[in-house]
Amino acid sequence: RFGPEFAATHPLAVGPVVSPPHSVDGFVKEFLRELNFGTGVLLSRATVNDQYVALARTVAHYLAARWLEGGRTRREAGVKVVGYLSAEYLLGRQLGNALLATGLRDIVEEGLESCGINLSTLRAQEVEPGLGNGGLGRLAACFIDSLATLNVPCIGYGIRYEYGIFRQTFVDGRQVEQPDAWLSLGSPWEFPHPEAAVQVDFGGTTEEYVDEDGTPRRRWLPSWNVLGVPYNYMVPGYHNGRVNTLRLWSAQATKAFDLQIFNSGDYAEAVRAQTFAENISKVLYPEDSTPQGRELRLQQQYFFVACSLRDFIERELPADFDLHDLPERIIFQLNDTHPVIAVPELMRLLVDERKMDWDEAWAVTQKCFAYTCHTLLPEALEVWPTEMLAKLLPRHLEIIYQINDGFLREVREAFPGDEMRARRMSIVTDYPERAVRMAYLATVAGAKVNGVAELHSQLLRDKVLPDFSEYWPEKFTNVTNGVTPRRFIRLANWNFTRLINETIGTGWVTDLDRLAELEPYAEDPEFRARFRQVKAANKERLAKLLVARDGIVLPEGHLLDVMVKRLHEYKRQSMKLLHILSTYEQIISGAIDPATVTPRTFVFGAKAAPGYKMAKETIFAINAVAATLAADERTNHLLTVAFPANYNVTLAEKLIPAADLSEQISLAGKEASGTGNMKFALNGALTIGTDDGANVEIRELVGDDNFILFGMSEPEVADLQARGYNPAAVYESNPLLKRAIDLLASGHFTEGNRDAMNPLVMDLLYNDRFLALADFQSYIEAQAKVDELYADPDAWSRKAILNVARTGFFSSDRSMREYLDRIWHAKAL
């Protein structure tokens, strides 16, 4: 029965694989089988973790049946695949999403109950994989979710960091980072394939040689290498049977240890190579919008793209595939500059390894890549010193030079005599040191270049890459970011989901524009009342969580004002703090009557990059203010500041649905898009925000009456900066601001210690790079408007409902459709 014929024909060998039965009995059998034989325990002795692992694996079985089938049909159909290259994926917990995608939730809940197990307890056991810093990594996770839901074949490629984004703790109000050992109990969601490991070379030299045909060629003679072990994760579509793959690479030494050295007793030396190799995928760089010019980071980047390119070419394509046709089978999307070293790597594979003619290889390469830029901060665009490249990737540096030579030839032909232009556009710069500008390389190589919101794409064209957009206007495009409604409404906000479903049906989960059908209900007093009940229930849920998680008590009946995002000066958490300080100062100085103050709870969630001093000072200041306000009986019934540590996706899922007010207050022209802004609006919070990033589009869609705008516009910012900005003068001229800053500097929040706040105060007064003081007055006035609006609950909820009804555009399904139509030219299966 199990001879060659079985292997060639039986469904267990060639598919289609049958999923376990979708019934309570079927599930319980699978679950207990997994607990007994997969985890090796009896139910009577199983720990919560055993139960969680068995449950996750059981749910994974259901998905795996579809996954195997989908992979098979994709390969057979020979369709074009989206290869999403991203150094970060901020996935969030997997179990809830897998239950949602498979539609198994009710069956599982009932089945577990019959075993005496509570599903929520097991869900809480999962440690989220925090393999990203913030918006960029979370966007990647939303995009792969949407592609699976749209039934588009996609392989997400990235790094399986052993330690993800650090776990933030506060000690005396200061951030202290702990390693994020997310794998310490293992991950039931991953499928490792050590047998499919790929070798990645580094270092050494290059040489010229003459090949068998007498053609002179160059080749790389690397000096060391590591192995990349693929770990596959399933990415399920919503209720459509498609399961795509996320393939994360883990670095391993080619040689585990040196037995001779070990036997001689030098144990540390014996494993040195292993430790060195494994460091490559050890930790995520905890930087957001700031590049880390470190060799290890370049190693990480090359490591994962080299593995991914080889993987796709050698394992996903037929052995006899003609690589001239590669663009018909793959489009690699470069998620920011982190994976851009893939460009010379593909050239190397084609020219050096497959002996393709340079021009033909370049034509193929230019069709296989597209580039998304996610920033506007010039300092955040990666630049690699040629010295470092020469040491780590000497052949790639030669290829980059050759690409640059060809490109500059083209530029000089197009603009004869304009040598300055050629210098400005050169991929290789000499100032301040000789280095490769990765954004330029991506722009030259990419079939398309896009920004992530209308304003961002325009500024990218006009200010960051003006010469390139003039030369190739058709190459530049915009795709405004989006977020997945599955995780951020359906899963995170069940109370609201129920209300929406009862009102307009369930179709919105995969067609978010249908939220527009809620618009008439904004006028319905009963619907508004139910909307307020939803908010109240979500606040209650959050309050329970914060007490248990952080010992934070949220007062009842407050306006919940939330600012959650990475801590960065351009995002201006310090301006938010000045608003709180100003309100507090006015109450305690008797300038305003406490009875007129809208009770508010301000929630912050923010991690600072460990080396970012001013960001850490801001965290300290927020915590100090929070503690003082909590102890001040004159105000603590009116103003509460809550700063739960370690903001992550799991916390976001509870915080966002509870928020009344969303703080999107970056300096205009600095936030590329923002995606938190979209999540809040979709969950019925009003935005107080500047005309920055996707705020602009949110405001256009929801209407000026339903968005609280303040602050300078981007041209006004540019103008002020050109005229010369003096924050100390603003401080002197604005009494409200002066009193708030003076109070901060007075030692009031630091037990009389005036020095403790000095770094932040001095920076605000004499530096204020992101013009917080310049926008302060306008911000305060906008906040007064918030209070006024919130005083009328019916009017407020009407506006909040309109926010929901008008922001269906911000689904990542829509973003993905735009990439598919305008950039990738790939199709659903």
The correct pick among 80, 160, 374, 486 for binding ligand CBF (CB under 6 A) is: 374
Q: State how beta strands 708-709 and 449-451 pair.
A: unpaired
Which residues ranging from 444 to 503 are in contact with ligand CBF (CB under 6 A)?
A: 452, 481
The DSSP code sequence of 276-342 is HHHGGGTB----SSS----HHHHHHHHHHHHHHHHHIIIIIS-TT--GGGHHHHEEEEEESSTTTTH
Q: State whether residue 605 is helix, strand or coil.
A: strand
Q: Which stretch binds ligand CBF (CB under 6 A): 131-139, 395-403, 491-499, 603-611?
A: 131-139
State yes or no: residue 675 binds ligand CBF (CB under 6 A). yes
Peptide bond into 16 cis (omega under 30): yes
Contact 123, 284 (CB under 8 A): no
Residues in the interface with ligand CBF (CB under 6 A) total 16
Nearest-approach distance from CB 134 to ligand CBF, in angstroms: 5
Verify binding: residue 136, ligand CBF, rule CB under 6 A.
yes
Kindly tell me which of 20 and 164 has the beta carbon lying closer to ligand CBF.
164
Residue 393 as a binder of ligand CBF (CB under 6 A): the answer is no
Query: Under 8 Å CB-to-CB from 599, ≥6 apart: which residues?
Result: 555, 557, 558, 559, 637, 638, 639
Three-state secondary structure call for residue 357 = coil
Stretch that binds ligand CBF, among 122-130, 524-532, 645-653, 666-674 (CB under 6 A): 666-674
CB of 374 to ligand CBF, least distance (A): 3
Task: Show Cβ contacts of residue 672 under 8 Å, excluding neighbours closer than 6 positions.
Answer: 135, 373, 374, 375, 376, 451, 452, 453, 456, 693
> Which residue's beta carbon is nearest to the bound ligand CBF?
135
Interface with ligand CBF includes 228 (CB under 6 A)?
no
User: Is residue 438 part of the contact set for ligand CBF (CB under 6 A)?
Assistant: no
Pick from 173, 230, 485, 693 the residue near ligand CBF by CB under 6 A: 693
The residue from 20, 71, 130, 134 that contacts ligand CBF (CB under 6 A) is 134
- Binding ligand CBF by CB under 6 A: which of 30, 287, 653, 671? 671
Shortest distance, position 100 Cβ to ligand CBF, whole Å: 24
Instruction: List active site positions.
Output: 374, 565-566, 571, 675, 679
CB of 694 vs ligand CBF, minimal distance in Å: 7
Map the footprint of ligand CBF across residues 36-75, applying CB under 6 A. none
CA-based radius of gyration for the chain:
28
Q: Which stretch binds ligand CBF (CB under 6 A): 322-330, 577-585, 670-678, 750-758?
A: 670-678
> In the complex, what is the shortest distance from the CB of residue 439 to ligand CBF, in angstroms, rounded to a whole number?
12
Among 98, 492, 609, 672, binds ligand CBF (CB under 6 A): 672
Instruction: Please identify, using beta-carbon distances, which residue of 667 and 786 lies nearer to ligand CBF.
Output: 667
Binding of ligand CBF by 289 (CB under 6 A)? yes
For ligand CBF, which is the closer residue by CB, 247 or 374? Answer: 374
Residue from 139, 277, 701, 773 in contact with ligand CBF (CB under 6 A): 139
Q: Closer CB to ligand CBF, residue 137 or residue 153? A: 137
Structure tokens at 560: 């919940």
Distance, in Å, from the CA atom of 547 to the CA atom of 260, rounded to the nearest integer, reads 56
| Cβ at position 349, least distance to ligand CBF in Å | 29
**Binding residues among 341-370 for ligand CBF as defined by CB under 6 A:** none
Residues ≥6 apart with Cβ < 8 Å to 75:
316
Q: Which is nearer to ligand CBF, 481 or 623 (CB)?
A: 481
Where helices occur in 103-192 by DSSP H, the ranges are: 105-114, 119-125, 135-149
The region of 75-83, 97-105, 667-675, 797-805 touching ligand CBF under the rule CB under 6 A is 667-675
Residue 297 binds ligand CBF, judged by CB under 6 A: no
Cβ-proximal residues to 608 (8 Å cutoff; 6+ apart), any chain: 175, 566, 567, 615, 616, 618, 619
CB-nearer residue toward ligand CBF: 87 or 603 = 87
Site map (CB under 6 A) of ligand CBF, residues 79-118, x = contact = ----------------------------------------
Q: How far is the CB of 386 from ligand CBF (least distance, A)?
A: 25
- Cβ–Cβ < 8 Å for 353, 361: no
Angle between helices 48-77 and 24-33 (to 10 degrees): 110
Backbone angles phi, psi at 399, to 5 degrees: -65, -40
- Strand pairing class (154-159; 81-85): parallel
For helices 793-805 and 772-790, what crossing angle results, to 10°?
Answer: 110
Minimum CB separation from ligand CBF for residue 283, in Å? 18
> Segment contacting ligand CBF (CB under 6 A): 606-614, 651-659, 671-679, 779-787?
671-679
| Least distance from ligand CBF to the Cβ atom of residue 630, Å | 31
Residue nearer to ligand CBF on the CB measure, 58 or 375: 375
Pairing mode, strands 205-210 and 190-192: unpaired
| Closest to ligand CBF by CB, 696 or 744 | 696
Minimum Å gap between C-beta 452 and ligand CBF is: 4
Task: Name residue 814's amino acid.
Answer: R
Residue with tokens 């340079």: 358
What's the closest the beta carbon of residue 90 comes to ligand CBF, in angstroms? 10
Residue length, the chain? 829
Binding part of the chain for ligand CBF, among 135-143, 236-244, 360-368, 779-787 by CB under 6 A, reads 135-143
CA atoms within 13 A on the CB side of 670: 22
Report d(CA 698, CA 685) in Å as an integer.
Answer: 12
308 counts as binding ligand CBF under rule CB under 6 A: no
| Crossing angle of helices 573-588 and 772-790, rounded to 10° | 60
CA distances 444 to 192, 534, 576, Å, are 36, 50, 40
> Cβ closer to ligand CBF: 138 or 798?
138
DSSP letter string, 76-94: HHT--EEEEE-S-EE---S
Q: Does 635 bind ligand CBF (CB under 6 A)?
A: no
Q: How far is the CB of 159 from ligand CBF (least distance, A)?
A: 16
Query: If binding is defined by CB under 6 A, does position 135 make contact with ligand CBF?
Result: yes
Measure the CA–CA gap between 658 and 647, rounded to whole angstroms.
15
| Closer residue to ligand CBF (CB): 403 or 452 | 452
Listed as own residue / partner, the contacts of 754-761 with beta carbons closer than 8 Å and 24 or more positions apart are 756/620, 756/624, 757/621, 757/624, 759/613, 759/614, 759/617, 760/574, 760/614, 760/617, 760/618, 760/620, 760/621
Query: Which of 724, 729, 822 lies closest to 773 in space, CA to CA?
Result: 729
Q: Is 806 in the site for ligand CBF (CB under 6 A)?
A: no
- For residue 243, the surrounding DSSP H or E stretch is strand 243-253
Find where tokens 């190589």 sit. Answer: 445
Judged by CB under 6 A, which stretch of 66-74, 128-136, 305-313, 627-635 contacts ligand CBF? 128-136
Could you tell me which stretch among 77-85, 134-142, 510-518, 740-748 binds ligand CBF (CB under 6 A)? 134-142
Q: Answer whether the bond into residue 416 is a cis peptide, omega within 30°.
A: no
Cβ of residue 269: shortest distance to ligand CBF, in angstroms?
A: 40
Q: Which of 39, 375, 497, 683 binds ligand CBF (CB under 6 A)?
A: 375
Does the footprint of ligand CBF cover residue 674 (CB under 6 A)? yes
Q: Does 673 bind ligand CBF (CB under 6 A)?
A: yes
> Which residue stretch of 165-173, 183-191, 356-364, 665-673 sits at the interface with ligand CBF (rule: CB under 6 A)?
665-673
Binding site for ligand CBF (CB under 6 A): 134-136, 139, 288-289, 374-375, 452, 481, 671-675, 693
